[in-house]
Amino acid sequence: MAKIDQLTIDRVLEAADIVDVVGEFQDLRRAGVNYTGLCPFHDDKHAGNFIVRPRGLKNGGNSYRCFVCDKKGGPVQYLMEREKMSFPDAIRWLGRKYNIPVDDVPLNWTPPPPRPVPPPPPPLAIPREWVSGMMRRGYRNNFVGWLYSLPWSPDRRARLSEVLWMYCVAGYNDGRVCFWQIDHEGVPRSAKLMRYENDGHRTKTEHPGWLYNQPGIRERLDPDNHTIFRPLFGSHLLRRYPEARVNIVESEKTAIIMATLWGEPEKNLWLACGGLSWLKLDAMQPLIDDGRRTYLWPDRDGVDAWRQVCDKLGADNVTVTTDFFRTCYVPEDDGPKADVADIALRLMAGGRRPTPKQKPKPVEDAAVPPVVVDDGQPFLDPVEIADPRVRQWREKMGRVHSKGWGQWPTCNVPGVKSVGEILSEHPLLKKLFTNR
């Protein structure tokens, strides 16, 4: 049997287009400049791990790669791996597809019988009344208590109530805070339960839980027979504020704090993906499809990882904003999880950043806040504090922070209300849920 000559192989390889080839065997969906679908090489239930990069792209064009099982290659590897073709047969198959004569040997491959594909289980949708119900019940939790203990100015304190309401932050009956994950069409898809210490830090010994896994609720929602989708925290606000730029941070706490500080949701929305490794394609898809201007604000230790995600997404409306680590003073002892809210809180608490040695470059088309004010002044308004106990606490904070970030001291200012108490007083709460 004669070998296929190299010139023919080269012609075939040059003609082969990965999107065409993969598209012959499975469904692909556009995701920015890339395509994505279910990975054929492992038991994949989550579109978004298997990425196909078309021809002509820098960094691995005309190739596929799965980020779970790490199978990767070009058109020929795909045919060999998926269809179990030999190399010559893969060349023959491609030759036939692209009308390039290869040799006279017949293609030794029969298309596999169409496999019955079971339909994916329906997506989990949690009844909308559960959100309002949980918000009305207003269980106390440390997260909300801590937020109210911060030395906000009166207008920001009022805004905090509004923000907690807008984001549907609620409490679970065991003292955990419940972050609802409601999609851009207003359907509650999931809810994350997290326990916080009264210093505003997450209880490290306890992993976040999911509402649909809780005893008594699991039986009612039956998550095992549903597809679980976890939208970005705050996604339900996208439709309400169609013109807003979208800022994505890691933690829900950061999103709440930033939304309170720059509370103009019609201009800037703050969404959270829930953690460094949670910036997933399916959660980003509505933003990519919409062409929304989107800025990613990773924690300090997440800059490189999120840059990579950004490259993979290949959407030109999504950018990573990292300049604030360069232009703002973030002491090393803030640790690897330092983020944009740490900078903001430090300044709010009276800490000042030292005058930078060189004039910082303005953040390019910065999503948000004037983080690059170069007059040595904190970039927030002076905090007006009437309550002397809060002032004392703030001074203490300033001292703590001049030594290092460390632990937030607790502020036991009486009159701090639970989120439920605040929300039940909120005139807008009733409006939100009674109509739908």
Q: Which residues bind Zn ion (CB under 5 A)?
A: 39, 41-42, 66, 68-69
Q: How far is the CB of 55 from Zn ion (least distance, A)?
A: 22
Which lies closer to Zn ion via its Cβ, residue 29 or residue 140? 29
Q: Which of 41, 325 has the CB closer to Zn ion? A: 41
C-alpha span between 434 and 436 (Å, rounded): 6
* Least distance to Zn ion, CB of residue 73, Å: 12
Which C-beta is closer to Zn ion: that of 66 or that of 305?
66
- Cβ–Cβ contacts within 10 Å for residue 145, how many? 21
Instruction: Give the C-alpha separation, 378 to 373, whole Å.
Output: 8
DSSP 196: B
Residue 327: partners with Cβ closer than 8 Å, 6 or more residues away? 356, 360, 361, 363, 371, 372
What DSSP string describes 132-177? Answer: HHHHHH----HHHHHHHHS---HHHHHHHHHHHHHTTEEE-TTS-E
| DSSP 3-state of 230 | coil
- Min CB(123)–Zn ion separation in Å: 22
- In the bound state with Zn ion, the residue whose beta carbon lies nearer, of 43 and 104, is 43
45 vs 207, beta carbon nearer Zn ion: 45
Q: Does residue 18 sit in helix, strand or coil?
A: helix
Distance CA 18, CA 27 (A): 13
Q: Which amino acid is at 343?
A: I
The SS3 call for residue 188 is strand
161 Cβ contact partners less than 8 Å away, ≥ 6 residues apart:
422, 423, 426
From the number of C-beta atoms within 10 Å of its C-beta (0-12, 13-18, 19+), residue 196 rates as: buried
Q: Minimum distance from CB of 43 to Zn ion (Å)?
A: 9
Nearer to Zn ion by Cβ, of 31 and 134: the residue is 31
Q: At closest approach, how far in Å is the CB of 252 from Zn ion? A: 30
Least Å distance between CB 81 and Zn ion? 10
Nearer to Zn ion, 69 or 276 (CB): 69
State in Å, rounded, how far the first CA of the chain is from the last one: 71
User: 390 with 413: CB under 8 angstroms?
Assistant: yes
- Tell me how far apart the alpha carbons of residues 339 and 310 are, in angstroms, rounded to a whole number: 18
Min dist CB 41 to Zn ion, Å, is 5
Of 13 and 68, which CB lies nearer to Zn ion in the complex structure? Answer: 68
Q: How far is the CB of 68 from Zn ion (least distance, A)?
A: 5
Helical pair 87-97 and 75-82, crossing angle rounded to 10 deg:
120
Nearest residue (CB) to Zn ion, 41 versus 241? 41
- Shortest distance (Å) from residue 69 CB to Zn ion: 3
